[in-house]
Amino acid sequence: YWIILADGQSTAAEKFGVTVDVQAAASESDQVGQLNAAETMLRAGYDALLVSPQTDTNLCPAVEKAEEAGVLVLNVNDAVLPGARQWVGPNQIQNGISAAEYMIENLPEGAKVAVIEGQAGVYAAGQRTKGFTDTALAGGLDVVASVPGDWDIQKALDAAATIIQQYPDIAGFYANNDTMALGIAEAVNAADLTGEVMVIGTDGIEAAYEAIRSGDLTATVDSYPYITGQVAVDVALRILGGQDVPRAVYTPQALITTDNVDEPPPSL
């Protein structure tokens, strides 16, 4: 997901004749490493920092220094800084809503479903879970479990296997990202329930598309990271150029199933 988003940023940078350098932590749980990278980039004298925090607070020290130095900070997707002045990304709560609505339409009332959450303290994970859970419950589904998977495929697999043991009649899983959805699919396959238990992920990575084509995944809510990356650079340049830009700029998303998995993605 993040590689695709960075590719979108690089494409926009080339289009507008600017430089975009990308740094990342060693993993999605390396909060200190991400903060160190942000502070190192801040000392390099960039005109803007496009940040995707791992939690709502782990990059706050670097962001405060940037704002004191007059450097634009643009919050791009993922967690949301408490004082974020500008934000670009998909509507995170809608990701969960879209997945729940699909299950409501295709499962009987009272069907048991579960959520495999992302990392605790990450805005995107909380919003996706809330959107799914609130919508599923309102639509008559029974959310029997909601457990953390920390964006990790093995943790999601183990969590799903446990839930399947506890609820043999489980009808669907929603994962806060596609990596975890692929782990859930492995657990469902191991239980010989492929095609009987829905598995819906979030992000729209290529491996999820392939899994939908093969029947291992039911759907993904594609957040089109390539477009998000392009829009983030565009918005940053508009702000640097003195244009008025809405505080939150929402980027496209869509539920992808076997019905539309081979359709071309939207483009700018």
Pairing of strands 254-256, 219-222: antiparallel
The CA distance from 132 to 115, in Å, is: 8
**Type of residue at 250:** Y
Specify the pLDDT at position 55. Answer: 87
Query: Residue 121 pLDDT > 80, yes or no?
Result: no
Query: Residue 80 pLDDT > 90, yes or no?
Result: no
pTM beyond 0.85 = yes
State the pLDDT confidence band at 268, using cuts at 50, 70 and 90.
Answer: confident
> Residue 54 carries which DSSP code?
S
Closest by CA to 146, choosing from 123, 126, 165, is 126
Query: Residue 171 pLDDT > 80, yes or no?
Result: yes
Chain segment 137-155, per-residue pLDDT in tens = 999 999 999 999 999 999 9
Query: Residue 83 pLDDT > 90, yes or no?
Result: no
State the pLDDT confidence band at 120, using cuts at 50, 70 and 90.
Answer: confident
Region 109-125 average pLDDT: 92
CA 86 to chain centre: 18
Chain segment 6-20, per-residue pLDDT in tens = 999 999 999 999 999
Question: How far lies 41's CA from each of 84, 146, 187, 211, 265, in Å?
Answer: 19, 37, 41, 37, 33
Q: In the structure encoding, which two tokens stand for residue 90, read together?
A: 């998909």
Specify the pLDDT at position 201. Answer: 98
Region 155-179 average pLDDT: 98
CA 191 to chain centre: 27
